[in-house]
Structure 1
Amino acid sequence: MMLGNRMKSSRSMIKLSRFLRYFVIAFVVLLTFIALVIVGYWISAKSNYSGTVISAGLAQAVNIQFDENDVPHIKAKTQRDAYYALGFVHATERSWQLEISRRLASGRLSEILGERTVSLDRFIRTLGIKQAAEKQFERYPAEFKQLLQAYADGINAGNQSLGWALPIEYFLTGSKPGYWSAADSVAWSLMMALDLGDNWQKELFRLELSQYLNTAEIWQVMPPYPGSNPVTSMDFAKLYREHQVFRPAQSKAQASREGEPYLLKQADTVGWLSDQQEGLGSNNWVLTGKKTVSGKPLLANDPHLGLSAPSTWYFAHLEAPGLNVIGATLPGIPAIVLGRTDKIAWGFTNTGPDVQDLYLEKIDPSNPNQYIGPDGAISFLAREEIIQIKDKPPLRFVVRQSRHGPIISDSHARAKKVIDTQRYALALRWTALDIENQTLMGGILMNRADSIDSLKAALRHHYAPMQTVAMADIQGNIALQVAGIAPRRQLHQGLYGVAPALGWERQYDWTTYVPFEQLPSFSNPSSEWLASANQEIISATNPNPLTGDWDLPFRYDRIEAMIGAKDQHDRASMQTMQGDVLSLGAQPLLALFKSARSGHALQPSIQSAIDGFNGSMSTDSVAALVFNAWVDQLTRILFSRLGDSFTEEYGRRHFRGALLNQISNPNSPWCDVHTTTEIENCQGAANLALQRALNDLSQRYGKSANDWRWGKAHHAVSEHRPFKNIPFLSGLFNVSVPFPGDAFTVNVGRPVLNNPKAPFAANHAPSLRAIYDLNDPEQSVFMFPTGQSGWAQSQRYRNLSDAWANNQVIPLAMKPKQVQRELVLKTKSF
């Protein structure tokens, strides 16, 4: 019996040993296979493309040389081939970025990303971005349609040339590059206009506030431009209550509990719609030769956008007959958007006009498929949309449209929640959706310009988003020109676009647009300089401002002061200005900050730093971190009483103008802490804010203030779409670096604030910096936050981040000193 047991045990051991041996062999084979796949992918992935490629879409061969900073210099014999080659390079360097942009603009993210992007897809479909783009493209002149098609053909050829070893994102999402059409480029230009347009959300916020504040109180929360009165005298809060616009409280509570699925919420847009926030903007300034050491103009530009990885921008040089231009391209757009030729240079800032109006459409009580117009009932236009959802059944829904535009309250959660949807709908009127929009034509013509006059002529075709363009030429001329389309408004007449209008009253309809000749324009001023930083800018030929919601003027004021601090500037001083981190938006609060007393154990150890703080937001500053934590808490104390509206808006809106207005009155009722029985003044609120700030900082960064630094908390994070928040993958795809500045410094680093995990991280900063030297354009320089490559495994994916954070620059030269690699595109020979 014992012998039998031993034999059984021996056989079991043999079987176990054999199983383990086979398991080890299988495991080794699997690891070998995985290693071979990785090695095969690494060898096959064309993340550093060079050599010769046969491409049937070309008319003649194109030579592409990549310089020491990886900027491609595209030399073609025709402009059509140049744009084809640009598309090819965009696809081989930024394939995933193009794919995600195409899907975003078409409302087709959910096909590969699943349920989490359905609400965003639904909203984009509701706006009808792709449909508008297709209609606009059909109206382009034949020459420009051909160039847009050539660029699209180049993208498709570039994607095809990559073979099986696509960027990693395709494998992680189980997808492949889709077909890029010429209309996709037009659609992407509309998405950029959407990113840079915020007015409709300001209108929606004022509508929300009208439920429980009067109009005067709303102007306290969203004050007019400093030194100005509100652009409208209408009591819009009273108007909405009289018309019973708001959803009844019982119905609102029910809607909040039930929650219709797939309605867009602000959280759904984070990382997709990069801006749409207060303080959208950029800086540019230009000096005549009388203000420079060389005697010729200098021009600086740093557009502020939501940071992304890879970068929003890709630098390139295009050379063909009638075309010689270098600068920043937007993958998906066939043009140098910001840059220079050998004769002129230009830079953009967002003008921030009011080109979006919400309209309350009154639903016909006898027929819900109709709404009331000035002359009676009108039927909604309707179309069915179908969103394919990965691993889920498709979503079918109807998009309604009024005579003003798409009904956004059918797809936007806040819009649907605030109004009585049984009686009203909210429509969006937006210039960018106009069939006449041919912005890409303007961009292509800009690239051909050889003088300020021809550049301005090209800008007449720029439609949306409206931009303030600084320009200079080698003859010594400088100019500032606002370009784009905006509705003509009259001060103090009607609502002036600050809040939703009554759609059934003709007085609120747009009638005409502001002519190009009446847009703000300045040339060769006696001051010898021009600048824009999203501050109020008024035309000499039209006193009516383009919006009632300009950004605060702190950056412009600081630029003006720095220009005036020197008699003559050179490239180095322009670079220093771009890196400036003195916050004029902090200085009016410093007296209250320094007088605050918290009773916190750490305050004595940091009081000397607080007392010496001048508003400089440098990365090594302890006081900058404490100040930003304090002002965050103070803002919450004053305005969190607005409830869900504040929660939704804070972070996207900084409330700094409202805060400064209120603390100017030491006994402002807004300073009374609404959660206590005592009545506090602003000093009491400041004391409580410091107590809360020090408690929070202690929990986040340790009990020793010696470990606190602004740069430790304030990282500029270039976020990847869609892997920015996924563990492990976010570390591979995101690019993060300590960064100075705040929302009001010239070197902008805007904290997120409403992100509880990292409230001081910045996702809105200079998306590039460029300085153009018109004495010798080849001495121009640039920098941007990540790198040229869109391949996450490439060292060129993030190689510029530290230099960007430290305000360093690299050459932007048409004649490279060194060629790192070369790519030749040849036409198919028969």
Structure 2
Amino acid sequence: MMTLLRWLTRLVGVGIAVVVLIGSVFYWMAGRSIPDYDADWTVPGLNGQVEIVRNTAAVPHIFALTDHDAYFGLGFSHAQDRLWQMLLLRRQGQGRLSEIFGRRTLEVDDLMRRLDLDGYASRSLPAYSDESRAILQAYADGVNAWLRLVGTEALGRGAPELFLFEPEIAPWRPNDSVLISLLMALQMTTQHESEILRARASLALPDPARITDLMPDAPGNGAAELGDFASLLDLPRRMFAEVEGAGAPRDPLHPNAQGLNRGGASNVWAATPARSAAGGALMATDPHVPLTAPSQWYLARLELATGAVIGATIPGMPNIINGRSERLSWGLTAAYMDDVDLYIEEVNPQNPTQYRTPDGWADFETRREIIEIADEAPITITLRETVNGPVIPGRHWNAGSVTPAGHVMSMRWTALTDENTTIQAGLRLMRARSIEEALESGEDHVAPAANLMLAAEDGRIAMQVVGHMPWRLNEHETQARMPSRGWVEGNLWQGTTQYFANPTFEDPESGVLGNTNNKMVERAFPLHVSFNWGDTQRIQRLGRLMEAREVHTRDSFIGAQLDTVSPAARNLLPLVARDLWFTGQPAAIGTTERLRQRALELLADWNGEMNEHLPEPLIFAAWMRALQHRLIRDDIGPLAEEFWQVEPVFLERVFRNIGGASEWCDVRPSNAVETCNEIAELALDEALQELSESYGSDIESWRWGAAHEAVHEHPVLGETRFFSWIVNIRQATSGGDFTLNRAATPGRGPEPYINTHGAGYRGVYDFADPDSSVFIISTGQSGHPFSRHYDDMGELWRRGEYVPMTLDPELARAANLGITVLSPAR
């Protein structure tokens, strides 16, 4: 027995030693790819010496004698810190993920091939100026310089993920950067999904007119009511079946992106010196994106011939997308412009290679492509295109659920053009010296449509909608709210409008401009910009905070950026609970009635602050979620699963009975006529039961932060059991779907209240004291999980802290982490 025990002990010891040895070898090999910020390298392609000074947060300050060399240094820095992220973005845009990930990414590849983003990126390069092409090439040369060093110096393949996936790494090309910009545009675009969902809801509703409640326009005048989607094709209602496995294909790079109005969102506001305590223009900007590890954003500073610029970049692109120079600051929000149309195309029943046009039958443009799949045989797909754009199979975005037999769906999108010069607009903006030059740069911006906010050293502020706007005809049968017939002349685009037609706002009398993805203009279709806006709530809070002070400071702008008061909670609770507050006799402890009474007592005393340490935000979120689902599930059936994310305007319409919307409260299958008060009470009990099962029966011990963790998930390894605890970052957070400090929830799944979409970057710029400007990103500069800069800014971000944004070279060099010197090869 003792002999057996000794041998078992030896075997266990050997096993542990082997595991430790393998782990140590992997750690050593992976650690080789952590860049040495103090190294000196000799590389080809430079005109002169480049210094990359890393400050204490590992933000590169790039000093060079020429703009070419500065952009070279940015490409080098991006590749040093975010190589895997860049390669994955490129591979996704090319539709080549399945070559390394296998079948699980096949649908993503299929969609990318059909949209042909890589082709449009390549064909757009000739539309760029010689100067812009030279910058793109310099940036690519910097990336490739690091790739060569990884190979020649055995630097751990450049990223630890490349030990697990061994793709061949092709050199970076200028059109790869254009491709990344197109991929970002697709991430921010949701109008096509809105069209499909609106059509599905129109088909499912017993009264199609009630779509005005379920998917309401932003409050205001001028919205036109729509008819029934089924009537367009003279087809019976509810004839469209769900497509098995349909929906948006899971994006491995942005696993937390889900739901309408989750494509792109942001806050930005600016004040003139007249509204600034220190006498200089102020700006705050925080673009909202799916939370990932590492963040999509990367901080950098470049020394250009026109002056230094600093701010947030996206690895793979040479732009400072949100940032400032010595004379100008800029920030972007998603404009929610309706820049996508879906078309139902009739296929010729006698010849399936043709589709119907206003002038008769026309041939589909077709081509075949091969998708390689890891460990499987490749597949060949046939791509079809109409005059309106690529044909999208019914399994993508659930398009098949609103595509009748004998028809296909095509997609027209402003980004799909051979003259997409969006990156050039950003490059011009970085070198602009005035508001006028910055506004002119927007003419090159194609997609995604954005609100460009500007604040200048001379005290001027402006906001301009940039991006191409479709030129539609007044007779468009759905006003582009739902898919329309592609063979009807009045539905087709006439091109795009000219830049001057985009809304612009300059130097307002109030002294403050702001945008939270809210409706900004009231113009008649087709110059309406959009019917589907990204916010109706945050703008209310921003307006109150801006009006609350005669003058503002950098700190008051920071306070507004971090504000966690929910205007939706303040608006909805008095409506929904107005007949429930303090009613009935005190119930016995431990009963459902007592739990409900206590929850209502807490909510009655709550100010709407979505604080992570309070139970009230959790009760409110769960209640509104359950309430909306109860109101709609008897009317639209299984489609209710698409509406878990709360729509405050819908609930307000119902409880104010706007246009008879209170009829949603009546449960259709029952004989009784239910009131809104009864449904609200049932929904509260349902929510409290759900929360009790998850967090216990002691309501005072519930905490919003326990349910509302920010989940920064690694785009590939984050789903694996072994690596997830290393690469994923989870943090309890305040805020919610409708707070300025936006922390949006998925509303569905096993963790419906987690924070998956928020301000990946925050910046506040003060021209009264430019070096007091600050910024932060949600994780860290490095994409390497073993680097201390992988998540070192994450805790600062969670606590609402910032790091300095300085253009002073001496401050940048003070207490630096290291200085990388790049010398030209002779």
**SS of equivalent residue, structure 2 residue 427:** helix
Say yes or no: does 1:295 pair with 2:279.
Answer: yes
Q: Superposed, which structure 2 residues align to 1:378-417 within 5 Å?
A: 378-409=362-393, 411-412=395-396, 414-417=398-401
CA distance in 2, matches of 1:675, 1:266: 34
Q: Superposed, which structure 2 residues align to 1:669-818 within 5 Å?
A: 669-674=663-668, 676-755=670-749, 757-815=750-808, 816=812, 817-818=814-815
1:91 is matched with which residue? 79
Cα RMSD, aligned residues only: 2.7
2:521 alignment partner AA? I
Distance 1:377 1:558, change over 3 A: same
Q: Superposed, which structure 2 residues align to 1:510-529 within 5 Å?
A: 510-529=493-512
- Report how many aligned residue pairs link the two structures: 803
Equivalent position to 2:188, from 190, 196, 205: 196
1:213-262: CA deviation from partner (whole Å, max 9, x where unpaired)? 3441222211122123533x552424334157x8956xx48x64xx7xxx
CA distance in 1, matches of 2:681, 2:474: 41
CA distance in 1, matches of 2:155, 2:672: 68
Runs of 5+ in structure 1 lacking a partner?
1-8
CA distance in 2, matches of 1:202, 1:273: 18
**SS of equivalent residue, structure 1 residue 469:** strand
State the Cα distance separating 1:667 from its structure 2 match. 7.9
State the Cα distance separating 1:35 from its structure 2 match. 5.7
1:465 alignment partner AA? P
**SS of equivalent residue, structure 1 residue 472:** strand
**SS of equivalent residue, structure 2 residue 312:** strand
State the Cα distance separating 1:606 from its structure 2 match. 3.7
1:612 is matched with which residue? 605
The worse-fitting range, judged by mean Cα deviation, of 330-339 and 206-215 is: 206-215
Say yes or no: does 1:477 pair with 2:474.
Answer: no
**SS of equivalent residue, structure 2 residue 567:** coil
Distance 1:369 1:272, change over 3 A: farther
Q: Superposed, which structure 2 residues align to 1:129-168 within 5 Å?
A: 129-162=117-150, 163-165=154-156, 166-168=158-160
Say yes or no: does 1:821 pair with 2:818.
Answer: yes
Equivalent position to 1:644, from 638, 649, 673: 638
Say yes or no: does 1:212 pair with 2:204.
Answer: yes
Is the 8 Å Cα contact of residues 102 and 180 (structure 1) preserved in structure 2?
no
CA distance in 2, matches of 1:415, 1:727: 34
1:372 is matched with which residue? 356
CA distance in 1, matches of 2:772, 2:397: 50
CA distance in 1, matches of 2:67, 2:538: 39
The worse-fitting range, judged by mean Cα deviation, of 659-668 and 369-378 is: 659-668
State the Cα distance separating 1:553 from its structure 2 match. 2.6
Runs of 5+ in structure 2 lacking a partner?
584-590
1:17-54: CA deviation from partner (whole Å, max 9, x where unpaired)? 99889968965874574365246326523344321012
**SS of equivalent residue, structure 1 residue 446:** helix
Distance 1:600 1:247, change over 3 A: closer
2:44 is matched with which residue? 56
Is the 8 Å Cα contact of residues 296 and 775 (structure 1) preserved in structure 2?
yes
Equivalent position to 1:73, from 54, 61, 67: 61
Is the 8 Å Cα contact of residues 288 and 529 (structure 1) preserved in structure 2?
yes
Is the 8 Å Cα contact of residues 344 and 403 (structure 2) preserved in structure 1?
no
1:237 is matched with which residue? 229
CA distance in 1, matches of 2:623, 2:352: 50
**SS of equivalent residue, structure 1 residue 450:** coil
Distance 1:716 1:512, change over 3 A: same
2:521 is matched with which residue? 538
2:655 alignment partner AA? I
1:191 alignment partner AA? L
**SS of equivalent residue, structure 2 residue 568:** coil
Normalised by the length of structure 1, the TM-score is 0.91
CA distance in 2, matches of 1:425, 1:171: 42
Is the 8 Å Cα contact of residues 195 and 273 (structure 1) preserved in structure 2?
no
CA distance in 2, matches of 1:234, 1:790: 47
2:429 is matched with which residue? 446
1:704 alignment partner AA? D
**SS of equivalent residue, structure 2 residue 369:** strand
Equivalent position to 2:342, from 358, 380, 391: 358
CA distance in 2, matches of 1:417, 1:539: 32
State the Cα distance separating 1:547 from its structure 2 match. 0.8
2:652 is matched with which residue? 660
Distance 1:181 1:645, change over 3 A: farther
**SS of equivalent residue, structure 2 residue 132:** helix
CA distance in 1, matches of 2:805, 2:300: 9
2:163 is matched with which residue? 171
2:295 is matched with which residue? 311
Equivalent position to 1:495, from 463, 478, 488: 478
State the Cα distance separating 1:175 from its structure 2 match. 3.9
Is the 8 Å Cα contact of residues 54 and 826 (structure 1) preserved in structure 2?
yes
Distance 1:714 1:746, change over 3 A: same
Percentage identity across aligned positions? Answer: 32
1:332 alignment partner AA? G
State the Cα distance separating 1:268 from its structure 2 match. 5.6
2:49 alignment partner AA? A
Is the 8 Å Cα contact of residues 195 and 276 (structure 1) preserved in structure 2?
no
CA distance in 2, matches of 1:235, 1:540: 21
Is the 8 Å Cα contact of residues 215 and 238 (structure 1) preserved in structure 2?
no
2:744 alignment partner AA? R
CA distance in 2, matches of 1:782, 1:298: 14
CA distance in 2, matches of 1:709, 1:594: 25
CA distance in 2, matches of 1:395, 1:240: 36
CA distance in 2, matches of 1:738, 1:20: 44
State the Cα distance separating 1:351 from its structure 2 match. 0.6
**SS of equivalent residue, structure 2 residue 288:** strand
Distance 1:273 1:737, change over 3 A: closer
Distance 1:435 1:155, change over 3 A: same
1:475 alignment partner AA? D
The worse-fitting range, judged by mean Cα deviation, of 786-795 and 21-30 is: 21-30
State the Cα distance separating 1:763 from its structure 2 match. 0.6
1:313-372: CA deviation from partner (whole Å, max 9, x where unpaired)? 100011132342111011011111111111111111111100000011111111011001
Distance 1:440 1:27, change over 3 A: same
The worse-fitting range, judged by mean Cα deviation, of 190-199 and 272-281 is: 272-281
CA distance in 1, matches of 2:256, 2:358: 35
CA distance in 1, matches of 2:694, 2:327: 52
State the Cα distance separating 1:410 from its structure 2 match. 5.0
Distance 1:267 1:639, change over 3 A: farther
Is the 8 Å Cα contact of residues 126 and 411 (structure 1) preserved in structure 2?
no
1:770-789: CA deviation from partner (whole Å, max 9, x where unpaired)? 11111122211011211111
State the Cα distance separating 1:492 from its structure 2 match. 7.5
The worse-fitting range, judged by mean Cα deviation, of 579-588 and 272-281 is: 272-281
State the Cα distance separating 1:154 from its structure 2 match. 1.6
Normalised by the length of structure 2, the TM-score is 0.92
2:624 is matched with which residue? 631
Distance 1:219 1:774, change over 3 A: same
Distance 1:451 1:18, change over 3 A: same
Say yes or no: does 1:428 pair with 2:428.
Answer: no
State the Cα distance separating 1:267 from its structure 2 match. 4.8
1:355-411: CA deviation from partner (whole Å, max 9, x where unpaired)? 000011111111011001111110001111211111222121111111000111355
1:425 alignment partner AA? V
1:185 alignment partner AA? S
**SS of equivalent residue, structure 2 residue 254:** coil
